[in-house]
Structures are given as C-alpha cells and as structure tokens.
Amino acid sequence: MKLETIAVHAGGEPDPATAAIAPPIHLSTTFEHGPATEILHGYTYVRDENPTQDRLEAALAQLECARYGKPGQELVQLEDSGESRSVGMHTTHGRVASGERRAEGTEREKADPLGRDVTGKAREATTGALAFASGMGAAAALLQTLEPGSHVIFPEDVYVHVRLAQQDYLPNWRIESSVVDMSSAKNVEKALRPETKLVWVETPSNPRMSVTDIAAIVRIVRDKWRVTSGEWRDTGAPLVLVDNTFATPVFQRPLELGADIVLHSTTKYCGGHSDVQGGALVLRKRDALYEKLYHTRLVLGAVCSPFNSWLILRGLRTLPCRMERHAANAMAVALALEGQKGIERVFYPGLRSHPGHEVAARQMSGFGGMMSILVKGGWEDAVRVASRVKLFRNATSLGGVESLIEHRASAEGPGSTAPKNLLRLSVGLEHAGDLIEDLLQALGGGG
Ligand code: PLP
C-alpha cells in the first residue's frame, strides 16, 4: 500500500458503536473498570491511554515505519510482530498485566495491513508511536529517560528550545553534551565517547536548513560499537534520534535509514493548519525503550489531549497532498529568490547551491516547504524586508497552509545562534506566483 493510502486510512476504522466514518473524539478522562481495577474495555484513565490518541499513534506509526522509497514504490512492513510482549504497563493504579491485553490484539493486527482491529482499538502491531502534548514534551520525555553520567551529541543548528533544554536542564541532571556541526558526519565520530547514549539529529535543521547524512551517522555509531546485527541496543551503542518535523514521513524516512527514534512537532506539518499543538516519538518497535518512554509520559504527564489527537489525525489525512504542494511552492520561491539583488544566500536543500543538496537528494524524496534566506546587510535590513510583506504573515511556527516569515534572531532572543540577517520562510499552499510577487516587492524589486 502506498503512503497516500495509509495517510487516508490509518487509525481510521469506522466507530464500532455507530459505524461513523469520521473517528469519534472520546473526551472521557476515565473509563469504567472492575472492582479490583480490572480493565474492561482497554482503557482506564486519559493520561494512560485513550481511544482517540490510540488512533493517532497507529497512524503515525504506520506513516513513519512502513517502507516508502521514492514515489511509486510499494509500502511493506519492516518487520513482523513476533517480538515478546511480556513487558507490563504502568497505569495510575499500579502495574497491570497489560502484556496479555496487547498480545491478545496481535493476531488481529497482523491480519490487517492498516493495523486496525475489530474492537475499535487502532493498533499498529510492530511499531511504537507515542503522542505527546508538544514537540518539546516529546523531546523532554526522551531526555528524561537518560541516566546521570550519560553524554549526548547535539547538532550546532537545532531548534532553539532543544538547545535551551540542553543548556538549562541537562547539567542539572548530570548529563554531559557536545555540540557539533553535523553537516560532516566525521564531526560526530570525533565527539563520540564510551558514555554517549544519544545522538540528536535534526535534518533539515531549524532555521539554517543544514542537512545531516542520517545513514552515515548510523554507520559510524554501528562501526564504533561493532554492531553487526539488529540487536544493537544490547551493545550499549547510542541511540540515533532524528527530528523529522521539517521533512515529515512523506519526504524522509529516518527509521529506514537506521535511526532508532523519530521525533515530530506535530504542531507543524502533521497538524497542518496552525491550530493544534502536539508532538510524537516513533520507534521501530515496542521494545524496552518504548515502555520507558510510555512510563515517562504517563508519570510526568506530557500527553496529547483527545481533541488535539483528533485534529492531528485529521491533519495526517492530507499530509502527502499538502507536502507535495508545499515543496513545489518552496522550490519555485527558492529559484525565484536565488540571485536577487537584495539576497545574500537562499538555504533550500532543493537548490544545487545548497551545501547539503547531494545528501538531501539521496535521503529525501522531496525537499519540503521550509527555507531560510540571508538578506544582504544586517539585522535591520532583514527586519525591513519582513515588515514589507503583504501576503506572508510575520509569525512564528511553520507547516500550516498559510505562508509565514520570521526574523529568527528576534524570535529566539538573546543567545540566538541564527544569523542576524536570516529570515525563515514557511512556504504555504497559496499560488506560488503570488508568494514570489510578495517577496520580490518586499525586497524592493518590484511586484
Ligand atoms: N522540532 C522542531 C524542528 C521545531 O521547529 C519545533 C518547534 O518549532 C519543535 C521541535 C518543538 O515543537 P513544539 O513547538 O510542538 O513543542
């Protein structure tokens, strides 16, 4: 099955109670259980699991984990679901033998390529997706699973609040970190230590659109820890996380390139309409790390609300269509801006002039809707251009249907590492010609 089909159907089985085609939103925070907390219908408390979030997680898992190469290639599942399901699950009421509950669904799940089961629980059998309240909620949950004494490698250009999490929180948790320019995988190799537990990749990066070779980093880590099989968790090798927010699973599939975890701010393209906040972590399978993350989310509380889960799920239905248009528009805008008088550089991985173009062309099936430009001059010159746009809106965030522009150094505030003359563009779904006209007039070049 192809990605477009999965996006439309995953987690979308008709409501078993009413046969409604649009998924219901279950707002209930609590679910009836037996007198000794026996789980009657699969749920107990909203922060633990809830039916709407389950549908979203099934869809995210399907989108990130099903194999999808260049357009036209077939989707197939990565692995079968023969893994052990003996790990118990914590609920607010203590540890319960939910291993059986999950195992019980497995046969049905295996039978349905969309991971649906007839009881209405949308479960993806082999992969583990966890929805969070925000992208940062997802990021924090992962960092909170690290033991004191661990070491993490972060990229030089990374979403600003990830950098602040690294600077403001990791030292208190006695976690050391290094920051490296990941446009060369060799820099990661040099920074690896025996106690490195996590390599954090963001590609393309926010806001400089740096591209990191995911497969090269995975290779370096595997070589160093002499990982010869898929069982590399047992070797103590660091996890490789990829923040896939900019590319989305439509254009980049980090798990297939060997990464262990994918992070999303679902606030962005997954939601797609600038009206919902969420985050997600997607793992290749429901292993011990999945259980640890599940437990962290449950206890520390960064869960996605049922309503937000529903909105994000709705956004996913059109993700492949939207991404195609975002990317086509962004390419048109990038080509129109490159070489303009008022512009020093255009950073868009689809341009041949981008230093990461070759890697991007290899590991992405499209270049996405994000770009940044360096305006000739400095801070004031960039802000002047941003102040002149008529169609683009000056606003933070990205990935919605409308085009946004932002002077990142102003937005990030003191300590920002964004160049002073950088404007970040989230290219929306308007007509490319209108967007180009707007930017050219803002640059003072006509329109
Ligand atoms: N990762 C990237 C690349 C982002 O751009 C953002 C937010 O802009 C995040 C993570 C954090 O996501 P959220 O705002 O949903 O917490």
Residues of the chain with pLDDT under 50: 66-125, 447
Q: Provide φ and ψ at 399, rounded to 5°.
A: 85, 5
Indicate which atom in ligand 1 lies nearest the CA of residue 158. 3
Cα–Cα distances (Å) from 202 to 38, 66, 100, 206, 269, in that order, read 42, 21, 37, 8, 15
Provide the whole-model pTM.
0.89
What letters, b where the CB count within 10 A reaches 16 and e where it falls short, cover 93-107?
eeebebeeebeebbe
Mutation to probe ligand 1, out of 143, 160, 206, 244 (largest number of atoms < 8 A from CB):
206
Percent of the chain with pLDDT over 90: 81
Indicate which atom in ligand 1 lies nearest the CA of residue 279. 15
pLDDT value at residue 75: 35
What letters, b where the CB count within 10 A reaches 16 and e where it falls short, cover 248-280?
bbbbbbbbbbbbbbbbbbbbbbbbbebebbbbb
Cβ-based neighbours of 80, under 8 Å, separated by 6 or more: 110, 126
Burial class of 403 by CB neighbour count within 10 A (0 to 12, 13 to 18, 19+) = buried
Nearest residue (by CA) to ligand 1, atom 2, is 159
pLDDT value at residue 236: 87
Model pLDDT for residues 295-347, shown as the tens digit of each residue? 999 999 999 999 999 999 999 999 999 999 999 999 999 999 999 999 999 99
Ligand 1 pocket (Cβ < 6 Å) reads: 134-136, 159, 202, 206, 243, 245, 265, 267, 277, 279
**CA 150-156-160 angle, 5° bins:** 90
CA pair distance 155, 203, nearest whole angstrom: 10
- What fold, for 321-442? Aspartate Aminotransferase, domain 1 (3.90.1150)
Indicate which atom in ligand 1 lies nearest the CA of residue 277. 15
CATH of domain 135-266: 3.40.640.10
Mutation to probe ligand 1, out of 182, 206, 265 (largest number of atoms < 8 A from CB):
265
- Count of residues for the chain? 447
Cα–Cα distances (Å) from 400 to 60, 273, 333, 403, 420, in that order, read 18, 4, 17, 7, 25
Nearest residue (by CA) to ligand 1, atom 14, is 135
Domain boundaries, the chain: 135-266, 321-442
**Most distant pair of Cα atoms in the chain: their distance:** 74
CA pair distance 285, 329, nearest whole angstrom: 35
Cis peptide before 349 (omega within 30 of 0): no
Mutation to probe ligand 1, out of 132, 136, 212, 263 (largest number of atoms < 8 A from CB):
136
pLDDT value at residue 233: 62
Nearest residue (by CA) to ligand 1, atom 4, is 159
> How far is ligand 1, taken at its centre, from the CA of residue 177, in Å?
20
Give the DSSP per-residue string, 323-379: HHHHHHHHHHHHHHHTT-TTEEEEE-TTSTTSTTHHHHHHHBSS--SEEEEEESS-H
CA pair distance 368, 108, nearest whole angstrom: 36
Q: Do domains 135-266 and 321-442 have the same CATH topology?
A: no
Indicate which atom in ligand 1 lies nearest the CA of residue 202. 3
Nearest residue (by CA) to ligand 1, atom 8, is 397
Q: Which residue has tokens 């291993």? A: 99
Report which DSSP code applies to 284.
S
pLDDT value at residue 285: 81
